[in-house]
Amino acid sequence: MSWRNRDSPLRRLTLRDAGMPGPRSVRPRRVRHAGTTVASPQSGYGPSWRQLLREPLENLRLLGRRAVLALLGIAVGCMAVVALLNIGHNAQREAMSVFKGMGSDLLVANVRMPTGSRSEALPNIATLDIGALRRAVPDITAAAPVIPTSMEVRLKGHVLSAITLGSGAELPGVLDLGLARGRFLSRYDTHSTHAVLGANVVNEWENAGVQVALGDTIQIGGYLFQIIGILQPEGQNPLLPVSPDDAILLPMESMRRIIPAPQITSVLLRNANSSTLSQTASRARHWLEDKMPNFDVSVQVPRLLLDGMARQSRLFSWLLAGLGGVALLVGGIGIMNVMVMNVAERRREIGVRMALGARPKDIARLFLLEAVVLSAAGALSGSAVGLIAAWVFVHYSGWSSFALSPAALPLGIGSAIATGLFFGLSPAMAAARLTPVQALRDA
């Protein structure tokens, strides 16, 4: 017969390959029933598990290039899912770390004039009893009111436009400020003419050729202030009304010297317990409204911003995973195409197997295992490449470190194998529904 050609895979077909037991594999099991001992003819029927695993590998090897292309389709899809989930996870961690560095337990109370009111009709509030605020709201560990204004500052004949920020000795503790040189303003500097410069202010003067040293005198308005400290660079913080890097810190009482009517515009609060931020914000707002009855007070809660950023990052990660799922779907269609062609080309083999005693479930299991083996190989190779691609992306993006997403590997590998199983089920069932006569006649 033609199927016994040496180039055909059927030349090694045996009874066990077809799903029937060989002459030595049948060991009838005796079962007692109603006082009679009978043999169980189905005991040990079908190929062994070793044969079930070895035969799909052999058949896929014979497929050659088509099996490789189908494997590449699943591998690309799994790689996309794993890589994009890990990239999204690390992007979320990086964004959250940036915002947490800005102070996740910081509250910013903004004080504004009511809409339609005139500034001259409202009293100016330039002082605030911080001790009374902390007693009224015990969760607040530190608080600092601020009065910002823009002024021209002169040093050694060079004029610079800068923001002067009036505050108290509590400001460094609220914002975790660091010193490059000198010291901070203290409660003993209340009525003194001392100033602390931000890092960007010093850099602008030094870029203009003016060297800034402790003890130098700067002119703000009609008054002279002595430099007692220079801040370390803190970076931009969008939660703050004014960046300390761009400001000159003055005692709050000294603001009366340079502007006629100083007015507190913000109160910065540090909360002890991050789980009570919303309650603390509400109590602080009510207290400030009592002390400033003619002003609108609103309190920003950075934790809400962090939660919004986390939800947005998770949504972005799943969007990327969805794009990877589309690629995985394309790979599954490739597997289905290969398996359909495989069944069509092996109809004669299916007929011979059934003629030798193979059951429909043996035929279905054979082709289904081939699809699963193909998808599993693609899933493992794709997940490895996806991890490498995600690590390379994170490394060259300059992010802090690479962290493996907990859902990346289970979801990537699991979805790839499930895709191969789903798309391989239809060809396997079609092969199982064939009859020996039909398979041999149509071959």
pLDDT band of 385, cuts 50, 70, 90 = very high
CA dist 200 and 165 (Å) reads: 14
pLDDT: which is higher, 14 or 153: 153
Asked whether residue 227 falls in the same domain as residue 338, the answer is: no
Asked whether residue 227 falls in the same domain as residue 263, the answer is: yes
The residue-averaged pLDDT of 308-335 equals 76
Q: Is the pLDDT of residue 46 over 90?
A: no
pLDDT of residue 52: 64
Structural domain includes residue 362: yes
Query: What's the number of CA atoms in the CB half-sphere (13 Å) around residue 271?
Result: 24
Asked whether residue 137 falls in the same domain as residue 240, the answer is: yes
- The amino acid occupying position 162 is A
Structural domain includes residue 387: yes
Q: What range does the domain containing 176 cover? A: 123-293
In order, the DSSP letters of 35-47 are: TEEEEETTTT-S-
Domain end among 293, 320, 343: 293
Closest of 257, 276, 160, 252 to residue 210, by C-alpha: 160
In order, the DSSP letters of 308-375 are: HHHHHHHHHHHHHHHHHHHHHHHHHHHHHHHHHHHHHHTHHHHHHHHHTT--HHHHHHHHHHHHHHHH
pLDDT of residue 101: 57
Q: Which helix (H) or strand (E) holds 173?
A: helix 171-175
- What whole-number percentage of the chain has pLDDT above 70? 78
| 149: number of Cβ within 10 Å | 18
Q: Which residues neighbour 115 within 8 Å (Cβ) at sequence distance 6 or greater?
A: none
pLDDT of residue 253: 86
Domain end among 263, 293, 323: 293
Q: What is the pLDDT of residues 197-255, one digit of tens each?
A: 999 999 999 888 889 999 999 999 888 999 999 999 887 777 777 888 989 999 988 88
Q: What is the pLDDT of residues 393-417, one digit of tens each?
A: 988 888 878 888 888 888 888 888 8
* Cβ 10 vs Cβ 4: under 8 Å: yes
Asked whether residue 84 falls in the same domain as residue 200, the answer is: no
The total of structural domains in the chain comes to 2
Structural domain includes residue 300: no
Query: If you average pLDDT over each of 58-62, 222-226, 340-344, 372-376, which comes out highest?
Result: 222-226
Average pLDDT value over all residues in the chain: 78
Q: What is the pLDDT of residues 156-187, one digit of tens each?
A: 888 889 899 998 888 888 888 889 999 999 88
Burial of 247 (0-12, 13-18, 19+ CB in 10 A): buried
Structural domain includes residue 16: no
Strand ranges for 61-206 from DSSP E: 106-112, 140-155, 158-167, 179-182, 194-197
Stated length of the chain:
443
Domain end among 293, 319, 347: 293
Asked whether residue 274 falls in the same domain as residue 314, the answer is: no
* Cβ 164 vs Cβ 149: under 8 Å: yes
CA dist 229 and 244 (Å) reads: 13
Structural domain includes residue 133: yes
Q: Is the pLDDT of residue 145 over 50?
A: yes
* Cβ 268 vs Cβ 146: under 8 Å: yes
- Give SS3 for 154: strand
Asked whether residue 93 falls in the same domain as residue 179, the answer is: no
Structural domain includes residue 23: no
pLDDT band of 38, cuts 50, 70, 90 = very low
Q: Which helix (H) or strand (E) holds 227?
A: strand 223-231
Asked whether residue 284 falls in the same domain as residue 318, the answer is: no
Closest of 223, 224, 225 to residue 185, by C-alpha: 225
Asked whether residue 211 falls in the same domain as residue 143, the answer is: yes
* Cβ 175 vs Cβ 249: under 8 Å: no
Asked whether residue 135 falls in the same domain as residue 265, the answer is: yes
Asked whether residue 270 falls in the same domain as residue 209, the answer is: yes
**Rg of the Cα atoms in the chain:** 38
Structural domain includes residue 75: yes
Asked whether residue 90 falls in the same domain as residue 127, the answer is: no
Lowest-confidence region among 129-138, 215-224, 330-339, 431-440: 431-440
Lowest-confidence region among 70-79, 180-189, 340-349: 340-349
Asked whether residue 78 falls in the same domain as residue 190, the answer is: no
